C-alpha cells in the first residue's frame, strides 16, 4: 500500500508527465509552423512517449488500490526564439523531471516501500536515456550550427532519430 505522501508525489508525477507530453506537442506545432518537419515529427513522437510514461504511473497507482488523480496541467510555452531554444528547453525540462524521479526514489527508499522503489527503476534508466538524447541533439546543433543549410541538416538529423 502506498503511503499518503508517496501517493501524492506519484500523482504529481502523473500530472507532470502529462505536462511533458503537452510541452513537446506544443513544441512540435511550433516546429511545424516554421517548416521544421523533422523536429516536428520527433517532438510529436516524443509527446506520445511521455503519455506512455504517464500511463505507466497511472496504472501503478491504480494497481496498488489507490486513486490516481490528474491535477491541473500547466499551459506549455508557445513561442521560441529558434530551434536551439526549443532543445535547450527540452534538456532543462528533462533534468527537472530527473530530479523529480530521484525525489520519488528517495522517498520510496526512506519509507522502505521496495515495490515502488523497484517500479521507479524503469524511470531512473529512462531519464538517463532522455537526458543523453536531448544533450546529443544540443551537441549536434552546436557542431552543425543553425545558419544557412545547417538548420536544414539539423532538422533532417532530428527527424531521423527513432524513439524507442
Ligand atoms: Fe517522461 Fe521525458 O520524461
Nearest-atom index, ligand 1, CA of 46: 2
Distance from the alpha carbon of residue 90 to the mean position of ligand 1, in angstroms: 10
In the prediction, which pLDDT does 164 show?
A: 65
The grid coordinates listed for 12 are: 504529481
Cβ atoms of 22 and 73 within 8 Å: the answer is yes
Provide the pLDDT confidence category of residue 149 given band limits of 50, 70 and 90: very high
Identify the residue whose C-alpha is closest to ligand 1 atom 1. 50
Task: Work out which ligand 1 atom sits closest to the CA atom of 50.
Answer: 1
Q: What is the pLDDT of residue 128?
A: 98
DSSP 26-82: HHHHHHHHTT-HHHHHHHHHHHHHHHHHHHHHHHHHHHTTPPP---PPPPPP---SS
> Residues lining ligand 1, CB < 6 A?
17, 20, 50, 53, 94, 97, 130
How far is the centre of ligand 1, averaged over its atoms, from the C-alpha of 53 (Å)? Answer: 7
Contacts of 16 (CB under 8 A, 6+ apart): 97, 100
Model pLDDT, residue 162: 83
What CA–CA distance (Å, rounded) separates 75 from 138?
24
Mean pLDDT (whole number) for 22-33: 98
Contact partners, residue 64, CB within 8 Å, separation at least 6: 1, 2, 115
Lowest mean per-residue pLDDT among 56-70, 89-103, 148-162: 148-162
CA distance 60 to 16: 16
pLDDT (tens digit per residue) in 34-46:
999 999 999 999 9
**Å from CA of 149 to ligand 1 middle:** 31
Q: What is the DSSP secondary structure assignment for residue 22, as one 8-state letter?
A: H
What does the pLDDT read at residue 118? 98
Residues 68-126: tens digit of each pLDDT: 999 999 999 999 999 999 999 999 999 999 999 999 999 999 999 999 999 999 999 99
CA of 142 to the centre of ligand 1 (A): 23
Amino acid at each position: 500500500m502506498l503511503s499518503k505522501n508517496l501517493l501524492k508525489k506519484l500523482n504529481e508525477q502523473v500530472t507532470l508527465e502529462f505536462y511533458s507530453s503537452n510541452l513537446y506537442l506544443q513544441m512540435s506545432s511550433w516546429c511545424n509552423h516554421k517548416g521544421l518537419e523533422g523536429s516536428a515529427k520527433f517532438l510529436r513522437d516524443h509527446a506520445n512517449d511521455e503519455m506512455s510514461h504517464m500511463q505507466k504511473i497511472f496504472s501503478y497507482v491504480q494497481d496498488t488500490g489507490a486513486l490516481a488523480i490528474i491535477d491541473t496541467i500547466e499551459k506549455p510555452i508557445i513561442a521560441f526564439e529558434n530551434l536551439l531554444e526549443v532543445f535547450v528547453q527540452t534538456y532543462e525540462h528533462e533534468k527537472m523531471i530527473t530530479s523529480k524521479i530521484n525525489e520519488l526514489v528517495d522517498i520510496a527508499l526512506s519509507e522502505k516501500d521496495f515495490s515502488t522503489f523497484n517500479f521507479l527503476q524503469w524511470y531512473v534508466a529512462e531519464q538517463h536515456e532522455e537526458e543523453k538524447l536531448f544533450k546529443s541533439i544540443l551537441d549536434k546543433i552546436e557542431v552543425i550550427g543553425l545558419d544557412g543549410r545547417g538548420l536544414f541538416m539539423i532538422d533532417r538529423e532530428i527527424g531521423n532519430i527513432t524513439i524507442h
